[in-house]
Structure 1
Amino acid sequence: MHPEPTSAQPSTAGPERHHDDEARAANDVEPSEPSDHGDATADADEAGDDEPISRGDGLWLDACGTSMVPAGPSTGGGAVNGNGAPHVVPVTLRQGTASDSDLANAERLVALYGPDLRHVEALGGWHTWAGSRWCCDRATVAELAKETTRRLLTDAEFAMNHAAKRVKRAHDDDEVAKAKAQHKEATALFNWAKRSQSARGIDAMLRLAETEPIVRAEPGDFDADPWLLNCRNGVLDLRTGELRDHDRRDMMRRIVPVAFDPDAELPVWDRFLADVTGNDEELIGFLRRAAGYTLTGDVRHEVLFFVHGPPASGKSTFLEALKITMGEYAAKADFETFIARRDSGGPRNDIARLAGARLVLSIEVDEGKRLAEGLVKQLTGGDTVTARFLYRESFEFKPAFKLWLAANDAPRVRDDDAAIWRRILRIPFEHTVPKEKRDPQVKAALLDPAVGGPAILA
């Protein structure tokens, strides 16, 4: 498709957490024996205990104070390095954050998984990166919160066992005191990790994490580039035809169910266009350009496509094929959304559903209904619209969709409203397809994105 309606269409890491080793080292609580759960891991570090642990005595203090978390899934202590310490990924808490607090857990969650998390209150809350797009998915984020506590528990238990063994092997009172202090710190964090696995702990972690700057997002942050189209096999730049890999930084929330293939052809699609236009090459070209323009989020031309014609003229099949090809970029709206009404004030749920769409389709307009000219001009003119989903906060968005209305007859519009008439582009489907040419397999092919989608998209 050519993305144009006419031939003239232009194409944070926080500060390092401080440590108070001396204050903790003053504690002389006798450490308990290592638990059975951590024995195998603790035994693995015997060979390295004769030498100081990397970064000296502060390593496991760091493990408690800044939650050094094993890389990858928890394995009951994780792999160990040559000095007897596990291979860990440091999670630095902000200065002033207590390590045994809900806030610390929130910071740990965001530090571990933040690049793959976004929270958008107006769009249902938590979103996760699914490899090709951002999806509203609180369940997955809750699982990541649980995994954060498991990692914390495993790391703290490893530190407890390691400190207990150091107490036994200490050569002087100073080493004993330091090891006991580390054991007490690790034990406190271990107990905190267990409490964090409660429903209250998980919920508190998530509620605090959603306020972290790295994960906060607004509806307008998604699908913001009007010339990028998210396809199954990558992100298509509609200006250049370049297809690139999916990237979370593109902030794509929608996707078409079609892989882009610039060379895709489908004779059935070409024959269908010829039949419904009466072989009118100029009209066929316009339909292709209008469909291509609809793929974009560009609304500079302020147009509304009105498809009209008798029954069995192919208009519904054409629009349904376009809608199915565009997948999540398309939305179907009841015509009641666009007619004049008395209670038109305030944010509306039916308008909120249209945010982010590029095709909004309403088929079979009720005869005799009058368009809400003001709303239609607002939706097609690129003006900011305020909307709200039920029981959620209001939000603002700029419509990026092209409105396609289809009916046997035109809706009523005030004759003196030049601004609305300027926007309406009439597309005639005047040729009723003869019964002998109505092949159900043609419609089935066009409405199957795996069959007709690539050619329609190309």
Structure 2
Amino acid sequence: MTFANIDLDAEFRRLAGIDAAPVAPAARQKKKPPRAPKPEGLLKWEAERKAAREAESDSAAVDDETVDSDVRISMMLADRMAGTFLYEHGGKGWRVYLDGRWAACATGEETEIAKVIGPAILKDALGNTASDPDAAGRMIRLAKRAMSAAGVSAALQLARSDRRLAARPDEFDQDPDMLNVANGVIHLPSGELRPHSPDMRMVRQSPVEYKPDAQAPQWLKFLDEISCHDPDWVDYLRRSLAYTLSGRVNEEMLFFMLGRGANGKSVLVNVLRAVLGQFVGSVPTSFLATSKNDDKEGASPVKASLQGLRMALANEVEAGSKLSAQTVKEVTSTEAIAARHLYKELFNFTPTHKLWVRGNHKPIITDNDEGIWRRIALIPFERNFSPDEQDKHLEERLLSEREGILAWLVAGYAEYQRHGLRPARRVAAASAAYRAESDLVGQWLDEEAEIIPGMSCHKDDAYQSYVEWCRRDGLDPKTKTTLTRMLDERGITSGRANTAGRAHIYKGMRLKSERPF
């Protein structure tokens, strides 16, 4: 018996229990029996089979329709989000425009607006029920998908790539001459206040309103006192802070506020933090310290956090801390900085921050090259307030003048444009003294050697003298190669002697402990 010779209808009847005997091949049947009415069991079986086939067909259609629905819903969502929401790829994700800035969505604002799409579609569908029932049915199915958790998630995922919503980290806070404040955006070169606009892509903001005519008499009195009544010092601080307001980093400076306790540093920093708001961020002092285990390919969340800041604060340098010249040069440079948030991709950003460090102790800087020292501005805080002079409510009183302090800073930007930073006399003197006392090679030369043109000494003897000198003072000596480079920068060159024996020498110096070579 072959499949082609089977009477399928009769076989179905047999399987349904109507014909007990197997069906003979059609070729051997001489006459077909008359068709009997289909029994109830067969009719039920056929109905169930048909329903199953229709269900499979409907399932495939729903899958295709679901994909199409998600795309349609995402387009509706993008229409509603445009101008108010952005998605920052490689950065903070969804952002919403609120009160003059693009704030990161922290409480599911993007999900809330996505949840509105379904009810809106359903409302339209119910309005079309009488005129176009088929279209209304499709809209109801679309609304059902839009109101499901899976539909909301899919729509948000697809909307990320909409050209009206997609943004990159380097698109935000990019105008270095603009400062976003509570009542507008200040154009620093002109002092003009301009209205907020989402097109400016501002993320950070000062919580203070800009009122150009606002005064701050208590603030000026405070500065006069912490400067030891030195207007030159106050003017320099004003120019430096005004420069810090901008996103320009052309000065490539590190401002170090040095002074022991009760001298006004903390009050100054706290007031500036309150006035500048989100433009101020903190970096750990360990970030600036020398590290032999830097993972250049690993995550760098501290560097990544600098993006968009105007003032980066490092607080309370510990005694004996060493400053990494390489790190300082990198984060005070005009060149783009490569950074990576945790679990994110590497990205580059243009620096806008100025580095301010405060502490009671000067960090150790062992490099003596111009590249590091031209960046250091040591601002001495030499006033010490006795317990009887200290005002526990000073900070609160100063913050009552926050509009006046902001106006004072913005006006200082015009002074900076006219004169540049132009270090105060005390700042220049303190910075020079800092460099001199950090010049360990120079100190070793002063104590153990003489700089005399035409004289020379053996390299090995000189290096041994240098190492012993360092160890006497508990210092880590440089390598011989580094010492040779640092001496060469001072005009002391290396070469070979014309005599036999130990031939490697330094030319232009001799050790006080040995006779001329």
TM-score normalised to the size of structure 1?
A: 0.71
Partner of 1:438: 390
Q: What amino acid is aligned across from residue 388 of structure 2 in structure 1?
A: E
Deviations 1:171-205 (A, max 9, x none): xxxxxxxxxxx421221121121122110000000
Distance 1:123 1:233 in 2: 27
Alignment partner of 1:284 out of 234, 240, 251: 234
SS at match of 2:218: helix
Equivalent residue number for residue 147 of structure 2? 197
Alignment CA distance shift 1:337-1:449 (3 Å)? farther
* Matching residue of 2:351: 399
**For the residues of structure 2 that align with 1:309 and 1:199, how far apart are their CA atoms?**
58
Aligned residue pair count: 343
- Matched with 2:451 is none
Cα contact 1:355–1:397 (8 A) shared by 2: yes
Residue 169 of structure 2 aligns with an amino acid whose one-letter code is P
Any stretches of 5+ residues in structure 1 without a counterpart?
Answer: 1-96, 164-181
- On the 8 A contact 1:269/1:446 being kept in 2, the answer is yes
1:237 matches 2:187? yes
1:304 correspondence with 2:254:
yes
Identity %: 34
Matched AA of 1:121? H
Q: Which amino acid aligns with 1:153?
A: L
Q: Quick one: structure 1 residues 263 and 112, their matched pair in 2 at CA, closer, same or farther if it must change by over 3 Å? A: same
Name 2:100's counterpart in structure 1: 132
3-state DSSP class of the match of 1:115? coil
Q: Is the 8 A contact 1:316 1:363 kept in 2?
A: no
Asked if 1:386 is matched to 2:338, the reply is: yes
| Residues 194-203 or 448-457, more deviating | 448-457
Are 1:445 and 1:452, in contact at CA under 8 Å, matched by a contact in 2? no
Work out whether residues 133 and 253 of structure 1, in 8 Å CA contact, stay in contact via their aligned partners in 2.
yes
8 Å CA contact retained: 1:322, 1:456: no
With over 3 angstroms needed to count, the CA separation of the structure-2 counterparts of 1:447 and 1:333, relative to structure 1, is farther
Is contact 1:368-1:412 (8 Å) kept? yes
The correspondence of residues 4-15 of structure 1 with structure 2, limited to 5 A, is none
Aligned to 1:116: 84
**3-state SS of paired residue (2:263):** coil
Choose 1 or 2 for highest CA Rg. 2
The code of the aligned residue for 2:386 comes to P
Contact residue 157 and residue 187 of structure 1 kept, 8 A: no
1:149 shift after superposition: 1.8
Gaps of 5+ in 2: 1-64, 411-517
CA contact (8 A) 2:216 2:401 kept: no
SS of 2:356 mapped into structure 1: strand
Give matches, 1:408-423, under 5 Å: 408-423=360-375
Match of 1:226 among 163, 176, 183: 176
- How high is the TM-score relative to the length of structure 2? 0.63
Summarize the Cα distance change of 1:452–1:314 in structure 2 as closer, same or farther, 3 Å threshold: farther
RMSD: 2.0
| In 1, Cα distance between equivalents of 2:126 and 2:199 | 37
Secondary structure in 2 matching 1:410: coil
Identify if the C-alpha distance between structure 1 residues 101 and 125 changes in structure 2 by more than 3 Å, giving closer, same or farther.
Answer: same
1:248 aligns to 2:198 (yes or no): yes
Identify the structure with bigger relative contact order (alpha carbons < 8 Å, sequence gap 6+): 1
Q: Using a 3 Å threshold, how does the CA distance of structure 1 residues 404 and 117 change in structure 2: closer, same or farther? A: same
The SS at the match of 1:160 is coil
Is structure 2 residue 372 aligned with structure 1 residue 372?
no
| Contact 1:153–1:190, Cα closer than 8 Å, also in 2 | yes
Distance 1:183 1:198, change over 3 A: same
Q: Cα deviations across residues 33-53 of structure 1 (Å, max 9, x unaligned)?
A: xxxxxxxxxxxxxxxxxxxxx
Distance 1:308 1:261 in 2: 32
Do 1:128 and 1:137's aligned partners in 2 also have CA atoms closer than 8 Å?
Answer: yes
How far 1:320 sits from its partner (Å)? 2.0
CA contact (8 A) 1:132 1:248 kept: yes
1:323 and 2:292 equivalent?
no
Match of 1:147 in 2: 116
Residue of structure 2 equivalent to 1:262: 212
1:354 equivalenced with 2:309 (yes/no): no
Match in the other structure for 2:133: 183
Match of residue 263 from structure 2: 313
- Aligned-partner SS, 1:341: coil
- 1:199-230 deviations in Å (ceiling 9; x for gaps): 00000000000011211111111110011011
Relative to structure 1, the CA distance from residue 147 to residue 202 in structure 2 (aligned partners, 3 Å threshold; closer, same or farther) is: same
SS at match of 2:255: strand
